[in-house]
Structure 1
Amino acid sequence: MLAQLVLFDGFDPLDVVAPYEVLAASGVMTVELVSAEGEREVPSGVGALSLRATARLEPQRADLVVVPGAAGTPEDGIANIPAVFEKALATNLSPLLREACQRPGLTVATVCGGSLLLAAAGLITGRHATTHHLGLRALAESGAHVVAARVVDDGDLVTGGAVTSGLDVALHLLEREVGPKVAHSVERLFDYERRGVVWRDRGPEPVLPA
């Protein structure tokens, strides 16, 4: 199974590193850092930190595509993030993400603001999704059905909340795609217990308000 983790200028490194380590530790997934342009050094939104993409994003080859959010600057907080997304979507990333979202059998997952990047590209209208709590209103305004949960599983779209939800998203994907034994072993390896219930659009409606 091939997982491709997307890098773009200004990405949040924790959104990438956490799921990368979890998926790679499974021993059953091939995990690649990719960009729309192919192999290159990609600057993050955190100081001088960068990661190297070793391949091009290829939705026809991948089984799983993970999209991170962007990092806000200490000066501007999250105010600069829409500009980072706009710059990223002005590249060939936009049609590649559209191809990924439309390809049957491929799961697209996001961490933190990654769902807002997909929303900015018009790719998750009408889908159940979550994001960082500071971006929930913007996500709702994009036409997504917002769920205030740590992880939201909407079939071939799996979204996570704030930055550290990358651990929970990746562990959920391991359990769903590979099995609970592998997911549990990785959870123990990192000495981390997943937080919250993974929300799915199934079962009876709750009696108490969500």
Structure 2
Amino acid sequence: MLAQFVLFDGFDPLDVIAPYEVLAAAGAVADGDLDVELVSAEGPRTVPSGLGLLTLQATARLDPQRADLIVVPGAAGQLPGDGEPADDSIPVILGRTLETGLPALLAQALDRDGVTVATVCGGSMILAMAGLLENRPATTHHLGMDLLGATGAVPVDARVVDDGDLVTAAGVTSGLDLGLYLLDREFGPETALTVERLFAHERRGTVWRRTIAKAAA
């Protein structure tokens, strides 16, 4: 299994590092059947985060044909104010990703069978603003729920929302819960519990899952 973590200019480092470390740690307890890498839509490059001088190195290009799991973080910057958003505000940073090749690559991922796209915090807003979450349940940071709904997505007030090939997580620290939930879903509870003990973190909240009504007998 290959998990690719997307980097873009202004990303939130904790959105990336928390689930990255969870999945990377699982590689040691899942019979080596899990590889993780940092990627960007442009390919290998040094990617600046939204926290000043902190950067991460993308070692490959986001590739929906190779990846089994793609994780999209949110942005770090100023919270939106009452007036026009500043150039370094989170909505503006997220909006700039629409001018890159990222939305098209994420659309390819959602169209390909066997790929799961996961998001942390404002990462779901990137997909939503690109028109990829129409009528789909999703979550994001609580400050962005109204905007998420305005894009045509169906906002769900939960820490993790599982809609099959789309799994979204809420605020920044929910990246830990997202990573552990994905381990449980893909590799089973034993792997997830092993990593929980390693990180001394117990998952919080109930995962929202789409339910399908059973046909009447």
Same fold (TM over 0.5): yes
Equivalent in the alignment of 1:81: 90
TM-score by length of 1: 0.93
Q: 1:137 aligns with which of 113, 138, 146?
A: 146
Equivalent in the alignment of 2:70: 65
TM-score by length of 2: 0.90
Distance, in Å, in 2 between the alignment partners of 1:138 and 1:89 is: 16
Deviations 1:174-205 (A, max 9, x none): 0001111000000000000100010112288x
Q: Is the 8 A contact 1:71 1:78 kept in 2?
A: no
Kindly indicate whether residue 173 of structure 2 is the aligned counterpart of residue 126 of structure 1. no
Equivalent in the alignment of 2:13: 13
Q: Secondary structure at the match of 2:89?
A: helix
> Which runs of structure 2 are paired with 1:1-210 in the superposition (5 Å)?
1-27=1-27, 28-73=33-78, 80-202=89-211
Query: Which structure 2 segments of 5+ residues have no match?
Result: 28-32
Query: Which structure 1 segments of 5+ residues have no match?
Result: 205-210
**Percent identity between the two aligned chains:** 64
Q: Secondary structure at the match of 1:124?
A: coil
Deviations 1:150-191 (A, max 9, x none): 000011000000000000011000000111100000000000
* Amino acid paired to 1:45: G
Measured on the aligned residues, the alpha-carbon RMSD in Å equals: 1.8
> 1:75–1:129: structure 2 CA closer, same or farther, 3 Å change rule?
closer
Equivalent in the alignment of 1:207: none
4+ runs of 1 displaced by more than 4 Å?
74-79
Equivalent in the alignment of 2:30: none
Distance, in Å, in 1 between the alignment partners of 2:80 and 2:176 is: 27
Q: Secondary structure at the match of 1:158?
A: strand
Task: Please report how far the alpha carbon of residue 31 of structure 1 lies from its aligned counterpart in structure 2 after TM superposition.
Answer: 0.2
Distance, in Å, in 1 between the alignment partners of 2:138 and 2:163 is: 7
